[in-house]
Amino acid sequence: MKKKSLSVKKIIHSKLIKHLKDPKINNIFRVFNNNLKFINEKKTAVAVSGGPDSLALTFLFKCLNIKNKKKGYFYTVDHKLRKNSSNEAKTIKKLLKNYDIDCKILIWRGKKPNSNLQSIARNKRYSLIHNQCIKDKVESLITGHHIGDLYENFFIRMLRGSGLDGFVSFNSIKNKLNDNLYVYRPLINIKKEDLIYITKKVFGYYLDDPSNYKNDFKRVRLRKFIDQFKEEGLDIQKLNLTINNLTSSNEAINYYVNKNISENTRILKKSTYILNKEFLNNPTDVIFRSFSRILKLVGTKYYPPRGKSLIYLIKFIESNHNGKMTLSGCVIEKVNNSLLIYKEKRQKT
């Protein structure tokens, strides 16, 4: 690197670190750093949307990299759902470049859905980022989810009829996506207002997604209901108490899920699982979670299969006929008293 370029980089780094002298920003940085103290992976990436949450996260992670003299990866997605989405992605890339942050743009190509747009777009965004993590051999992905997202996702899961695991999973700072990738939420206890404060101080700019104000989307309508719940006294302390109580029960169930997978499955080469007949001799929730975990690992999907799909799978298994079915990128093959689960092969186009 040329001396001039090195000098410019040092000046940029110095200006970024200087923001940590702000007591409010420094307190958030300490929480952020503490929540990542167990992160030992060699390569780490940040999901950047361009909103105030992810830009605050980008700043905090860059400061951490400067202090630890490490390199990080930054990904943003051009979903092409709006006419100006490509310009927005390029604007974010250019903005971050001024702060010695190289942000890679991932493009969602192909036909776009006409319904359930936000949910499908969110899944596609994580799918693109997940695939890029695999390509770059990234071992941990950091997202900018904050305490408001914890509220929203709790109620969204309630509307979906989620099980206990669904209610508490988002509360975890660290989640295992598959054998090669972990997802971290180091800002899950931080308020959105505080992240906006950081972004305004550091960057003076962020994208304001117009879809966040459209009543057409369930998540937007839900935010208004949540504000009403807060007025009735459901504050974050009470919600945390509820989630902590559910988490305790969830850990007990997971003990038996781990036991079921350990004692009643075998793994062959290429991540092929063999399940014996004792696998199904467990309470329903244990069976559901055991299947969900195996299918997610084998299919390498970001999200586990939905409950309705698992119910259909169990009915198929309990039938008296051998055969195959596909679910979550996996093939489930029934052979007498045993089951094989292996990754579905993609057909060439």
The candidate with the shortest Cα–Cα distance to 117, out of 217, 224, 221, is 217
- Higher-pLDDT residue of 20, 317: 20
pLDDT band, residue 8 (cuts 50/70/90): confident
What is the C-alpha to C-alpha distance for residues 27 and 262, in angstroms, rounded to an integer? 42
Specify the DSSP element, H or E, that contains 218: helix 218-231
* pLDDT (0 to 100) of residue 306: 78
Percent of the chain with pLDDT over 70: 90
Specify the DSSP element, H or E, that contains 293: helix 284-299
- Higher-pLDDT residue of 203, 231: 203
Q: What is the distance of C-alpha 83 from the center of its chain? A: 26
pLDDT band, residue 349 (cuts 50/70/90): very low
Q: What is the distance of C-alpha 332 from the center of its chain? A: 26
What is the C-alpha to C-alpha distance for residues 154 and 212, in angstroms, rounded to an integer? 18
What is the C-alpha to C-alpha distance for residues 345 and 329, in angstroms, rounded to an integer? 8
CB 163 within 8 A of CB 285: yes
pLDDT band, residue 178 (cuts 50/70/90): low
The candidate with the shortest Cα–Cα distance to 211, out of 68, 16, 51, is 51
What is the C-alpha to C-alpha distance for residues 151 and 222, in angstroms, rounded to an integer? 10
> Is the full-model pTM beyond 0.85?
no
Structural domains in the chain, sorted by start: 3-234 (3.40.50.620), 257-343 (3.30.465)
What is the C-alpha to C-alpha distance for residues 300 and 179, in angstroms, rounded to an integer? 9
Burial (Cβ within 10 Å: 0-12, 13-18, ≥19) of residue 201: middle
Q: What are the tens digits of pLDDT across the range 223-243?
A: 777 777 777 676 777 777 888
CB 208 within 8 A of CB 195: no
Burial (Cβ within 10 Å: 0-12, 13-18, ≥19) of residue 234: middle
Strands across the sheet with 330-335, in order? 265-268, 272-275, 338-343, 330-335, 323-327
Position 213 pLDDT exceeds 70: no
Report CA-CA distances (Å) from 192 to 41, 104, 231, 263, 268.
27, 25, 18, 44, 46
What is the C-alpha to C-alpha distance for residues 147 and 290, in angstroms, rounded to an integer? 29
What is the C-alpha to C-alpha distance for residues 86 and 106, in angstroms, rounded to an integer? 10
216 token code pair: 């057409």
Mean pLDDT of 55-84: 92
What is the β-pairing status of strands 44-48 and 140-142? parallel
